[in-house]
A and B are shown apart, each in its own frame.
Chain A
């Protein structure tokens, strides 16, 4: 084994390393006489120490003049690649200026190091081609353009996923069932059943808050009983479904994006394709079906919980007994009010599922992109859910539903 080179001691004592008080600094001495520049290197020229002398070396390189350069290396106590790189840089700039360079007092290990660096760097000498940056206007416009294209691609991919999901987890040959029941049930358990406690808690509190605030305001008009109408209609038409959808977007949408995204990162999605399965059918469809089933059910639970919260507050703050509350709810709320809320739930489920899947499929190779996509998934689905809720409200008002 050819390792005779490093028998010489060229290793720093551990105590001479940084943080300690006795760091042996690299030192530099230059002498000019006639056409000869003498540079004497001393001390420790190691990665951890050369930072302090970089500036000085660069200055020296730029000012280099005369006909000859002599480098004296015998006082270097330790040299590693960073130090050797600096010496190489000096030699290179001497060469560029046509200055004849000579080195004295170089140890074998230093020579090996310098040669290795020269060999590694020979093909890329001084052709740093830094890409020029585009102008501000250009970059601004390109950002807008990219966003528009991104929106178009999202829409396209969303429709693609919707279409592929409808086809189910079909095999290439055209057989295979469209829907795997156990997968759907499992997903309902994960997105629906386990979400019940938090949905219950959140809705009860929201119902109670609305009732409390309504009661305080309506008290001025002596119409405290109408707090029941207020809570009933508001919760059943809007708040119940909206808050449930937002909660599910945050809870299950992010999970779907992260699951599909990490499968994408580890080529599991590609594996599904190669095996002959439609990845959208296998991964997205069960989740989509589960969401479409679970979200209306959760909305219904949320509605009941909110009414219960409101009933409790109505009794404590306004003395409306539960009996009176329920009687009033019967008068104020008709079936179409309940439907108006529940009918929105499946649409919101599809929106959450598709946005989560689209974002999941867009995950690239890095951990950072996974995080960015999960965030985008939650933000986008909450935003779209709210927009769609508004659209429904206008639609129902227009058709007098």
Chain B
């Protein structure tokens, strides 16, 4: 991993709603080509941080640098360029309900680019096949899809412009364990083929153990710890401890070295 090449770097972020401070002096780096798992107790502001990076939430203070550009200082043109390099999979898919799956995938293509219709159709089918959906789903409406298919279709839309960074908000929530494992594999596979950087907000311990290269833990209004899963297991933070070594986590097969590291403590 190219540790010195942060694709997203967040510095001193402060976000508050009214008197309620959600994030305070938060720092976070995401490196090119990695899958970052982002965890934290419910209500600690994982989504707020995600939305701040995406520019959906105003922040009171701080600096967000994406692809080497400070998002507060760039021109509208550059902002569009940066937006084109980012894809988002929202928690509930957020597919446009009045468009078919194919049209959903083509929305970013239509908005940003002028591509011939035939090519757009082919690319939409290709993206669907890449995320493991059959091309037959292309002409269906989101309301006709199952939960897992909606996640996949939404991922296909997030990938429509071949972004550098993909943000996933709880990608495996609401999927059965097999579907969730497949989705994890899919994300790892896409990262390897397309060279994606993945920022994944999740509660799924299996995802964290299997695909995440690094994990960042949000708590107490900032990033408590960031590091590999082994480092997580060694951490002394009470919340991190109970999260990764709680009753639910214990059942997960750990790599030998981490298990030993765990037992030593």
Taking Cβ atoms with an 8 Å cutoff, the residues of A that contact B are 1-3, 5-7, 10-11, 14, 17-20, 46-48, 50-51, 54-55, 58, 80-82, 85, 89, 109, 112-113, 116-117, 120-121, 124, 364-369
Contacts and interface: CB of A to CB of B under 8 A. Distances in A.
B161 A14 contact: no
A19 B80 contact: yes
Contact of A48 (B1, B78, B113, B130): B113
Interface of B: 1-2, 32-33, 67-69, 77-78, 80-82, 84-85, 97-98, 109, 112-116, 118-119, 122-123, 125-127, 129-130, 134-135, 141-144, 159-162, 164, 188-189, 191-195, 213
Main secondary structure of the interface of A (DSSP, over half): helix
Contacts of B78: 14
B161 A112 contact: no
Given A365-B97, A365-B143, A14 B129 contact: no
Contacts of A80: 162, 194
Contact of A47 (B33, B80, B113, B134): B113
B123 A81 contact: yes
B213 A1 contact: yes
Given A47-B109, A48-B84, A120-B130, A368 B161 contact: no
9 A-B pairs with least C-beta separation: A365-B143, A368-B98, A366-B97, A6-B195, A120-B129, A80-B162, A51-B115, A116-B193, A17-B81
A6 B32 CA distance: 10
B112 A116 contact: no
Given A18-B112, A81-B159, A121-B126, 19 more contacts: A3-B191, A14-B78, A17-B81, A19-B77, A20-B81, A47-B113, A47-B123, A50-B119, A51-B116, A51-B119, A54-B116, A80-B162, A80-B194, A81-B123, A82-B162, A121-B129, A365-B141, A366-B97, A368-B98
A112 B114 CA distance: 27
A366 B143 contact: yes
A113 B194 contact: yes
Contacts of A55: 116
Given A47-B161, A113-B193, A366-B97, A81 B115 contact: no
A116 B195 contact: no
Interface centre among B116, B118, B188 (most CB of A within 10 A): B116
Given A113-B193, A365-B143, A81 B85 contact: no
A81 B98 contact: no
Contacts of A365: 97, 141-144
Contact of B126 (A7, A58, A120, A364): A120
Contact of A366 (B80, B98, B112, B118): B98
B130 to A, nearest CB: 5
Given A17-B84, A366-B97, A54 B126 contact: no
Contacts of B192: 2-3, 5-6, 112
A116 to B, nearest CB: 4
